[in-house]
Chain A
Amino acid sequence: MQILCSHKGICDIERPGQGIRDMKNADFQLLFLDFSMVCPTWILENFGKRNLCAHKAEKIVEKPRLLQEQIGDFLAKAKESGLAMPVARAPYLLRDTKRTNLNNTMRQLAEESIKICGQAGCGYIIIRSLFFGISDIWETNKQFFLGLVKTARENQVTILLENQCRNVSGHLVRGICSDAYAAAEWIDRLNSEAGEERFGFCLDTGISNLCGQDMYEFTSALGTRLKAVILRDCDGHSEASLLPFTCVSNGSVQTDWLGLIRGLRKISFDGQLIMDFSDTAAGFSPLLRPQLVSLAKSVADYFKWQIEIEAHLKKYSSIALFGAGNMCRNYMKCYGEKYPPLFTCDNNKSLWGTSFCGLEVKPPEALKSVPDGCGIFICNIYYREIEKQLERMGVKNIEFFNDEYMPSFHFDRIKR
């Protein structure tokens, strides 16, 4: 699984140096290239109208070939900094666009974007389906996407369809490709017509969240067609790109991260994980942005860690747990059979010698005599405190376990 960072909200297209440095310093190695930074939605929406101030991007809409020229400096700076760009997104229209006459322009912009991807070594491009002013949505989009196959093939680029929402007088509801079965069918039919696997899918969690969708079901239905996931948060009502876990109410997150993590685990997702927190980043002072970008990297790493949680258990020839409470109980419920621990231990003396969920509860000292290659998994939320205790004892292979996103949960919690 690869972690990418969207440059939106972090990089200024005219002076990208600082933003690129912030991402690099936060240890992001890969960028998500969004062509809308040089060809934004508002320019597309107002193209050709009177009184529009002259803007470089307007020339791109007029002559899509200029896209390359406009984005060239940014690409050069990113390359210079060693940032690769495995995924890009072609320019797109506003959700509530009124433009019915730009479909040909969108096709040309998509084509130019694919060519740039080819030159930049970018293997995936997200291209949104055409949606406004068309009667037969599938037929129109079939022609649109198949028309891009030749260029995509020449440039070794895979086209990713994306779940979109529809604007019903200000209320964003499920739109094209937001039904996972229908999206899967589109991809299969397009690949079949193309005669090769030239199409895949990118899940935008922000849109799924807006439409109150069950992300476990969504990812499960797409399976291996899912090549990329855009991680972004919102309040469930307005479209935004906020840092995951920042939309909370009364101490609870408001986004179905549980469903997403469970779903990505189920399909053994190994694709592109894209962090898009452009609105959060734009809201922070440039003085604080380096710390914010570092936090975003940690959040991305956390998602990867949760999705791949089993891989950490597999690493060790044997396992011992620290903690004899709910987290240990949850471990045993979900992983106890597949990765049976030797024992668990706890600082609570009254538990020593007792049995918990079929495990003997031992004093922490017992961890000193575990076999070589045994992983010690802390099953207690006081991770860092316990980690220090174990380090002082000279215990090796210390790992954290976490039960916030378990494959299933007990109906109750034990009280100790």
Chain B
Amino acid sequence: MLKIGVQTKNAVDDSNPEKGFELLKSAGFSCADFSLNAYLSNISLYRHEVNTFFDKSETELEAFFAPHKKAAAAAGIQINQMHMPYPNYVPSADEELNSYLKKTVAVKSMKICHFFECRYIVVHGFKLARNLGSEEAEWERTQEFLEFLAPMAREMGITVCVENIYNSIGGHIVEGPCCDARKAARRIDMINEKYGAEVLGFCFDTGHANLVGIDFERFITCLGSRIKVLHIHDNDGMGDLHQIPFTFTKSRENTVSTDWKGFINGLKAIKYNNVLSFETAPVLTAFPQEMKSAALEMIAKIGKYFAEVITS
């Protein structure tokens, strides 16, 4: 049976990680997606504001996260994936900030990932097509960053996973980096071949795919075994809401408006055997605190349903 995971954000608190991981375990999860990105928010980075979290030395960072690692192990939760803070490049920022994001934040993120004995770390591609003129030129810059991480990834046994993300044109969400499955597959193979190891993989994000009308089944089958991790969540096709799957309808018939059938068929076709991980942290702030465990249980049950139908 496929394992089920969820984000730690809004569930695991630094002040008491034991309680958080216990909550996940009791809700029915056996894995977690560690939200490292929560320690350096994208909103502040786009404002060129950086906190001092990643100024900590490696030893200090390990000491900071030691209770989390211990609590996860005690609860029987495997941290199978984590999210690197993003963006890793801010076009409007100066060289100092961008160098810090690359040489300090990204490097220390890899080390934290290794410390957690976590196999996969998700990164965002650079959003530069508008300025540079094409997706190809944009990818060159992302590739440069990925190749900076690749030797570390090989040495640490980590697979860096690029994720399908989006851009916004006047508030309308359109496809962004890594939304072309063919290109992503070719590029992943090329880099892995160059480094002689699985240093690069893919994270399929259902919510982002739904926002830009991607054909789930076609996309998943095109990437095949390159898909190492998932970000499962739902939305109304308009906003990146990170909500519970099967929640959105758009017609009188009230049938689900996200192509979950394509998702299941795709994962079935590629014989996906990694974790079914939910990226649904906003659900936990939407529901009343008293219902947090019930909401998590519901998410875990949906995960189990997916696991059953995918492996049946």
Q: Which residues of A contact B59 (CB under 8 A)?
A: none
Additional pairs, 15, CB under 8 Å, beyond known A212-B172, A236-B173: A168-B258, A169-B251, A170-B250, A170-B257, A212-B175, A213-B212, A248-B170, A253-B170, A255-B172, A408-B131, A408-B132, A408-B133, A410-B131, A411-B92, A412-B92
Complex Cα gap A181–B183 (Å): 11
Complex Cα gap A249–B179 (Å): 24
A165 within 8 A of B: yes
Q: Which residues of A contact B237 (CB under 8 A)?
A: 171, 237
B110 within 8 A of A: no
Q: Is the CB of B251 within 8 A of A170?
A: yes
A350 within 8 A of B: no
Chain B residue at smallest Cβ distance from A181? B182
Complex Cα gap A273–B131 (Å): 26
Complex Cα gap A170–B174 (Å): 19
A262 within 8 A of B: yes
Q: Which 5 A-B pairs have the closest CB atoms?
A: A170-B250, A212-B212, A252-B170, A408-B133, A173-B213
Q: Is the CB of B172 within 8 A of A235?
A: yes
B130 within 8 A of A: yes
Complex Cα gap A211–B237 (Å): 10
Complex Cα gap A409–B132 (Å): 6
Q: Is the CB of A407 within 8 A of B170?
A: no
B120 within 8 A of A: no
Please list the residues of chain A having a beta carbon within 8 angstroms of any beta carbon in chain B.
165-166, 168-174, 178-179, 181, 209-214, 216-217, 235-237, 247-250, 252-256, 258, 262, 407-412
Q: Is the CB of B259 within 8 A of A168?
A: yes
Q: Is the CB of B131 within 8 A of A409?
A: yes
Please list the residues of chain B having a beta carbon within 8 angstroms of any beta carbon in chain A.
91-92, 129-135, 137, 166, 169-175, 179-180, 182, 210-215, 218, 237-238, 249-251, 253, 255-259
CB distance from A49 to the nearest CB of B (A): 19
Q: Which residues of A contact B131 (CB under 8 A)?
A: 408-411
Highest count of chain B CB atoms <10 Å: which of A169, A178, A258: A169
Q: Which residues of A contact B172 (CB under 8 A)?
A: 209, 212, 235-236, 247, 249, 254-255
Complex Cα gap A411–B141 (Å): 14
CB distance from A78 to the nearest CB of B (A): 36
Q: Is the CB of A171 within 8 A of B173?
A: no
Complex Cα gap A173–B251 (Å): 15
Q: Is the CB of B171 within 8 A of A252?
A: yes
Q: Is the CB of A409 within 8 A of B130?
A: yes
Contact pick for A258, options B92, B130, B135, B253, CB 8 Å: B130
Q: Which residues of B contact A165 (CB under 8 A)?
A: 213
Q: Which residues of B contact A250 (CB under 8 A)?
A: 170-171
Complex Cα gap A237–B238 (Å): 7
Highest count of chain A CB atoms <10 Å: which of B170, B171, B218, B251: B170
Q: Which residues of A contact B173 (CB under 8 A)?
A: 212, 236
Complex Cα gap A221–B211 (Å): 22
Given A237-B237, A249-B171, A250-B171, check contact A212 B133 (CB 8 Å): no
Given A214-B135, A250-B171, A255-B172, check contact A173 B130 (CB 8 Å): no
CB distance from A174 to the nearest CB of B (A): 5
Chain A residue at smallest Cβ distance from B212? A212
Q: Is the CB of A256 within 8 A of B135?
A: no
Complex Cα gap A172–B145 (Å): 35
Q: Is the CB of A411 within 8 A of B91?
A: yes
Q: Is the CB of B238 within 8 A of A216?
A: no
Contact pick for B250, options A169, A249, A255, CB 8 Å: A169
Q: Is the CB of A169 within 8 A of B253?
A: yes
Q: Which residues of A contact B251 (CB under 8 A)?
A: 169-170
Q: Which residues of A contact B214 (CB under 8 A)?
A: 173-174
CB distance from B246 to the nearest CB of A (A): 11
CB distance from A242 to the nearest CB of B (A): 13
Complex Cα gap A172–B126 (Å): 28
Q: Is the CB of B212 within 8 A of A253?
A: no
Q: Is the CB of A211 within 8 A of B212?
A: yes
Q: Which residues of A contact B255 (CB under 8 A)?
A: 169
Q: Which residues of A contact B210 (CB under 8 A)?
A: 171, 173
Chain A residue at smallest Cβ distance from B90? A411
CB distance from B239 to the nearest CB of A (A): 11
Complex Cα gap A211–B179 (Å): 12
CB<8 Å pairs between A and B, sample of 15: A168-B258, A169-B250, A170-B251, A173-B215, A174-B214, A179-B218, A212-B212, A213-B212, A217-B135, A247-B172, A258-B130, A262-B133, A407-B133, A408-B131, A411-B131
Complex Cα gap A157–B199 (Å): 51
Complex Cα gap A408–B136 (Å): 13
Chain B residue at smallest Cβ distance from A252? B170
Highest count of chain B CB atoms <10 Å: which of A171, A179, A254, A409: A171
Q: Which residues of A contact B249 (CB under 8 A)?
A: 169-170
CB distance from A405 to the nearest CB of B (A): 11
Q: Which residues of B contact A254 (CB under 8 A)?
A: 169-172
Complex Cα gap A410–B132 (Å): 8
Highest count of chain B CB atoms <10 Å: which of A212, A254, A262, A411: A212
Chain A residue at smallest Cβ distance from B176? A214
Q: Which residues of A contact B179 (CB under 8 A)?
A: 214
Complex Cα gap A212–B91 (Å): 22
CB distance from A403 to the nearest CB of B (A): 13
CB distance from B213 to the nearest CB of A (A): 4
Chain A residue at smallest Cβ distance from B252? A170
CB distance from B154 to the nearest CB of A (A): 31
Q: Which residues of A contact B250 (CB under 8 A)?
A: 169-171
Q: Is the CB of A174 within 8 A of B213?
A: yes
Q: Which residues of B contact A235 (CB under 8 A)?
A: 172
Complex Cα gap A250–B171 (Å): 9
Complex Cα gap A169–B257 (Å): 5
Complex Cα gap A211–B218 (Å): 15
CB distance from B23 to the nearest CB of A (A): 33
Q: Which residues of B contact A172 (CB under 8 A)?
A: 213
Complex Cα gap A49–B169 (Å): 43
Given A258-B130, A411-B91, check contact A169 B170 (CB 8 Å): no
Q: Which residues of B contact A209 (CB under 8 A)?
A: 172, 174
CB distance from A392 to the nearest CB of B (A): 38
Q: Is the CB of B129 within 8 A of A214?
A: yes
Given A181-B182, A214-B175, A408-B133, check contact A171 B258 (CB 8 Å): yes
Q: Is the CB of A256 within 8 A of B253?
A: no
Complex Cα gap A165–B237 (Å): 14
